[in-house]
Amino acid sequence: MSDQRSRAELFRSLHVPGNPVVLVNAWDAASARIVAAAGARAVATTSAGVAWSLGAPDGDALGRELATELVGRVVAAVPLPVTADIESGFGTTPEEVAGTVRAVLAAGAVGVNLEDVAPAGTAGLRDVADQSARLAAARAAADEAGVPLYVNARVDTFLRGAGGLPETLDRAAEYLRAGADGIFVPGVVDPDTVTALVVGIPAPVNVLAGPGAPTVPELAGLGVGRVSLGSSVAAAAYAVVRRAATQTYGAGGYDALDGGLDYGTLNELMRDTGR
C-alpha cells in the first residue's frame, strides 16, 4: 500500500498547469510498455481501446471485472503510476461506482477518469447532483483505502453538444466540490476556449489532443495541466490491421505492414518485468 500511495502522490504532483503530464493512452500490457519505454511519466488506459481489445463496444458494456483485470495487467507491466479510464463507473448507483473504485485500487491504479455521460439508451448528460454523488462515492472509497486517488472528472458538454462554456464551468465547480481533483473536457481544442476553461476552473484542466489540435508545448502555454490522446492511438493501430487485411485480401500486397516494430525489439520489451 505504501508503494501505491507513493505512486499516487507522484501522479498527483505531475498535474502542473503550464507543464502538463502527457498521457499516450494504452489498452494492454504491450502498448503500456511501449509508451513507458518512450519516456512516459505515467500511463493511462483508454476505455474504448480496452473494450475493443476485449470484444466489447465502449460505453459501460464491458463490465467491471474484465475492465479492472485489464487495469491490473497494465499496472503489473510498468513501473509507473497508472490511471484507469472507468467510463461512467460500471455501475448504476454511487455505491456501485465506489465498488468499481475499490476494484481499481486493488488492481494497483492511482487515478481514474469518471465521465458524466447519461446511461446507455438515454440522451445527454447525467443530472449534476447524480454525477456529484457518484464522484463523492469514488472519493470516499479512495479515502477509506488510504490512497490519494486522482479523480479526473470528465465533462462531456462539448463532446455531446450538451452545453457550452457556462454549463461546463458550472459542472466543473460542482464536481470539484464533490471531490474531483481535475477536470477533463474532451471535444475542445480551440485555444480561446481552452484558455477560458483554464481561467475558469480552479484545478488542472485535461485536454484531449490529436491531429489538428495544438501541440503539447502550445497547450502548456495555455496553462493546461494534462494532455491525453484517448482512444486515438488504439484506433490508429486497428487502422493498420484494416489496411493490411484490405490490401492482402485485395491486391495481395503487403505495403501496409511497412514501419512495423521489429519482432526482436518488441519481444525483448515484453521480457522485461517492467517493475
The H-or-E segment that residue 207 falls in is: strand 205-208
Strand partners, 208: 228
The CATH code of the domain that includes 125 is 3.20.20.60
pLDDT one-digit tens code per residue, 209-225: 999 999 999 999 999 99
Q: Is residue 270 part of a domain?
A: no
Q: Is residue 267 part of a domain?
A: no
Percentages helix, strand, coil for the chain (3-state, rounded to 5) are 50, 15, 40
Q: Is residue 265 part of a domain?
A: no
Q: Is residue 269 part of a domain?
A: no
Spatial CB neighbours of 162, under 8 Å, sequence gap ≥ 6: 124, 125, 156
Q: How far apart are CA 208 and CA 144, in angstroms?
A: 31
Over range 191-206, report the average pLDDT.
Answer: 98
Looking at residue 120, its pLDDT comes to 74
pLDDT one-digit tens code per residue, 155-166: 999 999 999 999
Q: Is residue 9 part of a domain?
A: yes
Q: How far apart are CA 86 and CA 114, in angstroms?
A: 6
Local confidence band at 119 (pLDDT 50, 70, 90 cut-offs): confident
Whether 202 has a pLDDT exceeding 70, the answer reads yes
| Cα dist from 156 to 39, 164, 171, 246, whole Å | 30, 10, 10, 35
CB-based contact 168:185 (threshold 8 Å): yes
Q: Is residue 251 part of a domain?
A: no
Quick count: other Cβ atoms within 10 Å of Cβ 221?
13
Mean pLDDT of the chain: 96
| Number of domains comprising the chain | 1
Q: Walk across the sheet containing 82-85 and list its strands.
A: 21-23, 226-228, 205-208, 182-184, 150-154, 111-115, 82-85, 43-44
Whether 1 has a pLDDT exceeding 50, the answer reads no
Looking at residue 2, its pLDDT comes to 64
Total-model pTM = 0.95
Local confidence band at 134 (pLDDT 50, 70, 90 cut-offs): very high
Spatial CB neighbours of 208, under 8 Å, sequence gap ≥ 6: 184, 185, 186, 187, 188, 189, 228, 229, 230
pLDDT one-digit tens code per residue, 39-50: 999 999 999 999
Looking at residue 273, its pLDDT comes to 58
Q: Is residue 227 part of a domain?
A: yes
Spatial CB neighbours of 193, under 8 Å, sequence gap ≥ 6: 158, 165
**Higher-confidence position of 60 and 4:** 4
- Percent of the chain's residues with pLDDT above 70: 97
pLDDT one-digit tens code per residue, 52-80: 999 999 988 999 999 999 999 999 999 99
Question: Left (φ > 0), alpha (ψ -120 to 50) or beta: where does 36 sit?
Answer: alpha
CB-based contact 182:152 (threshold 8 Å): yes
Q: Is residue 180 part of a domain?
A: yes
Local confidence band at 266 (pLDDT 50, 70, 90 cut-offs): very high
Domain with 162, as residue range(s), is: 2-231
Q: How far apart are CA 135 and CA 152, in angstroms?
A: 9
Looking at residue 275, its pLDDT comes to 56
- Written as nine digits, the cell of 140 is 470516499
Looking at residue 121, its pLDDT comes to 64
Over range 194-208, report the average pLDDT.
Answer: 98
Strand partners, 194: none
